[in-house]
Amino acid sequence: MTTTEPTGSAPRRGRGRPGYDQAAILRAAVELFNRKGYDATSMGDLAKELGLTKPAIYHHVTSKEQLLSQALDDALDELTAAVTAATGDRAGQTAYERLREVVRRSVEVLVAHQPTVTLLLRVRGNSGVELAALERRRWLDDRLAALVADAVAEGALRDTVPPALVSRLLFGMVNSLVEWYSADGAYDPAMLADAITVIAFDGLAKHAA
Amino acid sequence: MTTTEPTGSAPRRGRGRPGYDQAAILRAAVELFNRKGYDATSMGDLAKELGLTKPAIYHHVTSKEQLLSQALDDALDELTAAVTAATGDRAGQTAYERLREVVRRSVEVLVAHQPTVTLLLRVRGNSGVELAALERRRWLDDRLAALVADAVAEGALRDTVPPALVSRLLFGMVNSLVEWYSADGAYDPAMLADAITVIAFDGLAKHAA
DNA sequence: CCTACCGATCGGTAGG
DNA sequence: CCTACCGATCGGTAGG
């Protein structure tokens, strides 16, 4: 960012060229990919959305798949940072504490990077780019499953449900955020993380104290 | 079904025509739609998968969208039956009991109709068929949210988390099943429903008794 | 005339 | 950043 251009996704009003940069085109592309699906979105759709012609898009971007790749990298980089930050061996922290922290950090990433994470969670493996993203996702899932298994072994979590199943259901709940969360909604990230950890770890039911 | 044909999706071996029926083609189509995405699946892909030519498909099916429509109807009919069966006014049942039952029934439907429910959960609203399916889904979500609100009002569920949020997270966890469940896996439906209700209602953490 | 298909190609549109 | 296009493939249908 060396220019004084506005960083918002909307073109400047009035005279002159809209002046999109690569980041603004990527944001618009991700929004369309999520709304219509990647395959159902044509580069013509993207051009119309931006008020450009199709060839004009290719002035900023080399391919449709490059847009997908950059979006998936954004999500994966953020999620990897969240997981490694929370799962690193930190003196005096139990696996249970680290698990609660990785849930909280994951929620924060889902909220802050909702568009790209949404796209990531819908990847089917239809291309090399998608298969590479799925591989990075699997690495994250394995880390999370290992952390849950540690927390069970530690005696912090109930052992009546298989750890692998717990991990899938817990992060299934976390990931479901992307289906309905919108930044302009009433929920703030800290409150969401609290709600999820309360439901998952303490349960919904009021128990006779 | 008035013939003695096998009802499996595989064509007969040996001489003669494969003899697919509409149901077998639908099953194969749904499997492909889930594996590659609806838009990324061509009728040529489906034909290849079945060992037929593309025109042969159209002998049994009027359009690609009809296949989608029938698959979504299957999922929606089953989910509607599960929700109405569990939410109907039944003497002596609390909202909390009905909520636990609708979770259990939903899990059973997800497991028994995993392919069509998976497809339903990925619909984006790209066509009239998809918009109609989203409307039926919204009706179901509203019923579930109302049931959660009733259970909170009843005093059975903790009121520190907004009911609308509880509903989304609870069924977000339930729905996440479709992402990884496979019928040949180690989990049986009753065990899955138990695991989900235990996690959601009683919590993962071992509390000091 | 039926069911169950095939080889070839239609009019349009995709990404580039 | 536009006009003018390409190789290919899309969903769907013709005659036999």
**Angle of helix A128-153 relative to helix A95-112, nearest 10 degrees?**
150
Tokens of A202: 């303490």
The alpha-carbon gap from A17 to the nearest alpha carbon of chain B, in Å, equals: 31
**Angle of helix A163-175 relative to helix A128-153, nearest 10 degrees?**
120
Q: Residue B74's pLDDT band (boundaries 50, 70, 90)?
A: very high
Average pLDDT of the residues of chain B? 87
In Å, how far from its chain's centre is CA A51?
Answer: 28
From chain A, pick out residues whose CB is under 8 angstroms from the CB of B40. Answer: 39, 124, 126
Q: Which residues contact A73 (CB under 8 A, 6 or more apart)?
A: none
* Average pLDDT score over residue span B52-73: 92
From chain A, pick out residues whose CB is under 8 angstroms from the CB of B202. Answer: 203, 205, 207
* Average pLDDT score over residue span B12-18: 43
All domains of chain B, ordered by start, with CATH? 22-60 (1.10.10.60), 69-202 (1.10.357.10)
Q: Give the C-alpha separation, A177 to A134, whole Å.
A: 19
Given B37, B155, B201, which is nearest A203 (Cβ)?
A: B201
Given B156, B173, B202, which is nearest A173 (Cβ)?
A: B173
Contact predicate A86/A103, CB 8 Å: no
pLDDT at B87: 82
Q: Which residues contact A174 (CB under 8 A, 6 or more apart)?
A: A103, A106, A107, A110, A196
- The more confident residue out of B121 and A15 is B121
Tokens of B127: 């066509």
pLDDT at A12: 38
Write the DSSP assignment of A65-120 as a string of letters. Answer: HHHHHHHHHHHHHHHHHHHHHHHS--TT--HHHHHHHHHHHHHHHHHHTHHHHHHH
Given A126, A166, A204, which is nearest B37 (Cβ)?
A: A126
* Average pLDDT score over residue span B15-26: 72
By CA distance, what is A100's nearest residue in B?
B205
Q: CA A59 → C1' D3, Å?
A: 15
Q: Give the C-alpha separation, B148 to B151, whole Å.
A: 5
Q: CA B57 → C1' D13, Å?
A: 12
Number of A to B CB contacts under 8 A, please give it: 132
Contact predicate A6/A51, CB 8 Å: no
pLDDT at A87: 83
Residue A27 one-letter amino acid: R
From chain B, pick out residues whose CB is under 8 angstroms from the CB of A39. Answer: 37, 39-40
How far CA B183 is from CA of A23, B10, B75, in Å, comes to 42, 18, 16
* Average pLDDT score over residue span B90-102: 89
pLDDT at A30: 94
pLDDT at B9: 41
Q: Is the pLDDT assigned to residue B132 strictly greater than 50?
A: yes
Closest residue by Cα to the C1' atom of nucleotide C14?
A: A42
Q: Beta carbon of A19 within 7 Å of strand D?
A: yes
Task: Report chain A residues touching chain B, CB-CB < 8 A.
Answer: 35-40, 96, 122, 124, 126, 155-158, 160-162, 165-166, 168-173, 175-177, 179-180, 187, 192, 195-196, 198-207
pLDDT at B207: 64
The alpha-carbon gap from B12 to the nearest alpha carbon of chain A, in Å, equals: 30
Q: Is the pLDDT assigned to residue B68 strictly greater than 90?
A: yes
Q: Give the C-alpha separation, A113 to B18, whole Å.
A: 49
Tokens of A126: 């239809």
| Chain D nucleotides near the protein (CB, 7 A) | 1-4, 9-15
By CA distance, what is B169's nearest residue in A?
A173
Q: Beta carbon of B41 within 7 Å of strand D?
A: yes
The alpha-carbon gap from B201 to the nearest alpha carbon of chain A, in Å, equals: 4
Walk along chain A (209 residues) and give the pLDDT tens digit of each residue: 333 333 334 443 333 455 677 888 999 999 999 999 999 899 999 998 888 888 888 888 899 999 999 999 999 999 999 999 988 767 689 999 999 999 999 999 999 999 999 999 999 998 999 999 999 999 999 999 999 999 999 999 999 999 999 999 999 999 999 999 986 677 888 899 999 999 999 997 876 44
From chain A, pick out residues whose CB is under 8 angstroms from the CB of B157. Answer: 204-206
Residue A205: phi and psi, rounded to 5, are -75, 140
pLDDT at A89: 67
Name the least confident of B100-114, B126-140, B184-198: B184-198
Q: Which residues contact B23 (CB under 8 A, 6 or more apart)?
A: B7
Strand D proximal residues, B:43-62, Cβ < 7 Å: 43-45, 54-55, 58, 62
The alpha-carbon gap from A12 to the nearest alpha carbon of chain B, in Å, equals: 30
Q: Give the C-alpha separation, B151 to B68, whole Å.
A: 35
In Å, how far from its chain's centre is CA B56?
Answer: 29
Q: Give the C-alpha separation, B98 to B104, whole Å.
A: 10
Q: Residue B20's pLDDT band (boundaries 50, 70, 90)?
A: confident
Contact predicate B140/B163, CB 8 Å: no
| Chain C nucleotides near the protein (CB, 7 A) | 4-9, 13-16
- Among B171, B204, B206, which would you mutate to test the A interface (most chain A Cβ atoms within 10 Å of its Cβ)? B204
pLDDT at B64: 93
